[in-house]
Amino acid sequence: MVGRKDKFCWKCHKEEKEVLSCELCPRSYHLKCVLLRERPQEAWVCPECVLVTHADDEASRSTNMRMMTLKEQRKILQNVVKMMKDVKLADNFFEHVNTTEFPDYLQFIVKPMCISTLEEMVDNREITSTQGLFAETKWIHHNCVVYNGLNAGLTGVAKALKKICRDECIKIEICPECFLHTCRHGAKGFIRVCKRPHVPVWARMTGFPFWPAKAMGMKDGGVQVFFFADHNRAVVPSSEVFLYSQDIPFPNQRNSRKQRLEDAVEEMKQHLNQLMKKEYTLKLAPCQTPYDPNRDEEHRRMMLPNYVEWVPQKRSRTNMTDTMVSYSKAVQEPAESTHTWGVLRATAYTNMFVHGTYLLGAVLPLLLNPDLTAKWCTLGSE
């Protein structure tokens, strides 16, 4: 067990006598808020800790994040914290609540959090992933709801902080390098080329003409794109996405945004020039060539014939192996400290869950029901 536990549910922020506490962190939940009917018999690890552990593990973190150096990863997270500082009235959360002025604060709050602490945690690499940053940022909102109430003005500011953190983290997971380019170069960063260049396409949203864009992969059954000029993100049906060609796929379309479209085409040209400066051979596709997100790598090689596919390094299982060895020793020679035993056992359970070699007793009933499983997996991302 870890220190003092929260008596307020992490999901709904309400207090009740019976809550289920995580073995690794102070968070607690109502059983119904984690879709459980009865209390697990074994050590239980909350959805938040599972997501963060998975993201922090070099072997299981996203391919995009593994392409970034440790210095770049830290710079990315530092920029998100900087954006949070720019939120209106965010200065109320720059530092911890003054417990001299509010002496009962710590009676309700088990883990005080502020923007300055987030900054320090990123600088010291205590936070190393977007999931980790978002999970810690949610403490600001949770604490504010618990102490001030759901409808308080400050709670609205805390919610805005959580929203901008979530939105920026989503952008980072799509492409951390694009995010870093924008942080370094502003709007001009959009034309910069990533280590794995994005496939240039024409994409159309309902009510708009075909527009130059970068294809960012599949999402929700469609193609996720970033549009040139506006730099907006959208998910477009794959039937409305074509590989970039000299001519627009269907030119006979009414267009009330002609000037903006011309700006987008010009920015796309600048991006293609950047590709050639990187010594890529550029070959535009024939007009009306469909883009298939399942063939993204094939499309990239077709348009950039001399592109060499980036191959992720072999995933290491060292961390998990070390934990399992320690866990085996603890089984044979139980630790004297109950605290150490509890953390060790829960850490082993978490690693085994993350790598798919063990199903936590608390999660097993959910895995038998696909609908409940899908809902449970979204708990940590809200």
CA angle 175, 180, 184 (to 5 degrees): 155
Burial of 23 (0-12, 13-18, 19+ CB in 10 A): buried
Residue 174: closest CA among 205, 130, 116 = 130
In whole angstroms, give the CA distance from residue 108 to residue 143.
8
Terminal C-alpha separation, the chain: 25
Mean of per-residue pLDDT scores for the chain: 84
In whole angstroms, give the CA distance from residue 121 to residue 223.
35
Using CA atoms of 66, 71, 74, 78 in order, give the dihedral in degrees to the nearest 10.
Answer: -140
Question: What fold characterizes domain 61-192?
Answer: Histone Acetyltransferase; Chain A (1.20.920)
> Is residue 341 very low, low, confident or very high in pLDDT (cuts 50, 70, 90)?
very low
Spacing of C-alpha 51 from chain mean position: 10
Coil, helix or strand for 56? helix
Amino acid letter at 60?
S
> Is residue 366 very low, low, confident or very high in pLDDT (cuts 50, 70, 90)?
very low
- What are the backbone angles phi and psi of residue 277, rounded to the nearest 5°? -65, -25
The pLDDT score that the predictor gives to residue 164 is 97
The per-residue pLDDT for range 48-89, each reduced to its tens digit, is: 999 999 888 877 777 778 888 899 999 999 999 999 999 999
Coil, helix or strand for 128? coil
User: Class for domain 197-303, per CATH?
Assistant: mainly beta
Q: Structure pTM?
A: 0.78
Residues of the chain with CATH 2.30.30.140: 197-303
In whole angstroms, give the CA distance from residue 339 to residue 347.
12
In whole angstroms, give the CA distance from residue 220 to residue 223.
8
DSSP state of 69: -
Over residues 120-137, mean pLDDT? 96
The per-residue pLDDT for range 261-318, each reduced to its tens digit, is: 999 999 999 999 999 999 999 999 999 999 999 999 999 999 999 998 766 555 444 4
In whole angstroms, give the CA distance from residue 315 to residue 237.
33
Spacing of C-alpha 137 from chain mean position: 13
For 24-62, letters b (16+ CB in 10 Å) and e give: bbbbbbbbebbbbeeebeebbbbbbbbbbbbbbbebbbb
> Is residue 200 very low, low, confident or very high in pLDDT (cuts 50, 70, 90)?
very high
> Is residue 3 very low, low, confident or very high in pLDDT (cuts 50, 70, 90)?
confident
DSSP β-ladder status, 233-236 and 28-29? unpaired
Residues of the chain with CATH 1.20.920.10: 61-192
The pLDDT score that the predictor gives to residue 317 is 42
Strand order in the sheet with 241-243: 233-236, 222-227, 211-219, 199-203, 241-243
Asked if residue 165 lies in contact with residue 119, where contact means CB atoms within 8 angstroms, the answer is: no
The pLDDT score that the predictor gives to residue 356 is 42
DSSP state of 282: P
